[in-house]
Amino acid sequence: MNNTETQPFRFSERSNNLPSSFLRDILKVASSKDVISFAGGLPDPSLFPLKELADCADSVFRSHGSGVLQYSNSEGLMSLKEWICNYYYNKFEMHVHPDQILITNGSQQALDLIGKTFLDKGDEIILEQPSYLGAIQAFTAYQPRILPIPITHDGLDLNSLEQALLNHQPKLLYLVSNFQNPSGFTISREKREQLAELASRYNLIIVEDDPYGELRYTGSHLKPILS
């Protein structure tokens, strides 16, 4: 038996080591009509603002014409990037320049690009324990060594984090700052400041994922760690 018979497609080493997609498994079950799945954060479709979105699409096509369907800059539409900068200024008084913004197709592409840009095989990275499955999957493709750090109700356990920083050379720390997936915890203001201080002391990149910050119903919004 030669190698081509046992393994017809000669996948890259990176792809051969990939586990099956957690997200795909979760979404496959969730799409079944007999199942109400709490595993994925799927909104109730009856809440989708269909008419408003259709009106928006209509208005965009009418005001921008065929330009809407043309290729744009690969880093994203300038007017959208400027809108995002204004959002950060109005909400958090942060000065973000459009050159610092990159529009991606959802967070999965962003996480993949971060892995591609920063991680070599065997590099150490820190993840919250527990962490978001999509991020584990995106980073795993780049074959890092994962250092899990436990979280408490107000974010990462900083003693364990500092121990890890003293004993290892992690390149990046990925965290979800507001209503973390899966714990629901939010990192306190004090911990955000301490994390920023540790990141600068240990030359650590913090990847702050914030899909849920806008879903706050009580209390005030906390500034991103970058601020």
Residue from 17, 25, 41, 77 in contact with ligand PLP (CB under 6 A): 41
Provide the token pair at 14. Answer: 């990176």
Return the range that interacts with ligand PLP (CB under 6 A); candidates 66-74, 106-114, 188-196, 217-225. Answer: 106-114
Residue 43 is a binding residue for ligand PLP (CB under 6 A): no
Does residue 106 bind ligand PLP (CB under 6 A)?
yes
Among 177, 178, 181, 194, interactor with ligand PLP by CB under 6 A: 181
Task: Give the one residue of 22, 26, 84, 107 binding ligand PLP; rule: CB under 6 A.
Answer: 107
Q: Which is nearer to ligand PLP, 103 or 158 (CB)?
A: 103
Count the site residues for ligand PLP by CB under 6 A: 10
The whole-angstrom separation of Cα 56 and Cα 41 is: 25
Near ligand PLP by CB under 6 A: residue from 138, 209, 222, 225:
209
The angle formed by the CA atoms of residues 56, 210 and 206, to the nearest 5 degrees, is 140
Helix residue ranges per DSSP H, the chain: 3-6, 13-16, 22-30, 50-64, 78-92, 106-118, 133-140, 158-167, 189-201
Site track for ligand PLP across 114-133, x = CB under 6 A = ------------------x-
108 near ligand PLP, judged by CB under 6 A: yes
Torsion sign (Cα): 69, 72, 74, 77 = negative
Residue 133 has which token pair? 């499955």
**Nearer CB in complex with ligand PLP: 107/143:** 107
Q: Is 184 in the site for ligand PLP (CB under 6 A)?
A: no
| Burial class of residue 95 in the structure, from the number of CB atoms within 10 Å of its CB (0-12 exposed, 13-18 middle, 19+ buried) | exposed
Give the Cα separation of 78 and 197 in Å (integer). 32
Positions 143 through 172 that interact with ligand PLP (CB under 6 A): none
Measuring CA to CA, which residue among 124, 120, 86, 79 is closest to residue 103? 79
**Which range, of 85-93, 103-111, 143-151, 158-166, touches ligand PLP by CB under 6 A?**
103-111
Spatial CB neighbours of 19, under 8 Å, sequence gap ≥ 6 = 137, 140
Residue 176 in contact with ligand PLP, rule: CB under 6 A: yes
Which parts of this chain interact with ligand PLP (CB under 6 A)? 41, 106-108, 132, 134, 176, 181, 209, 211
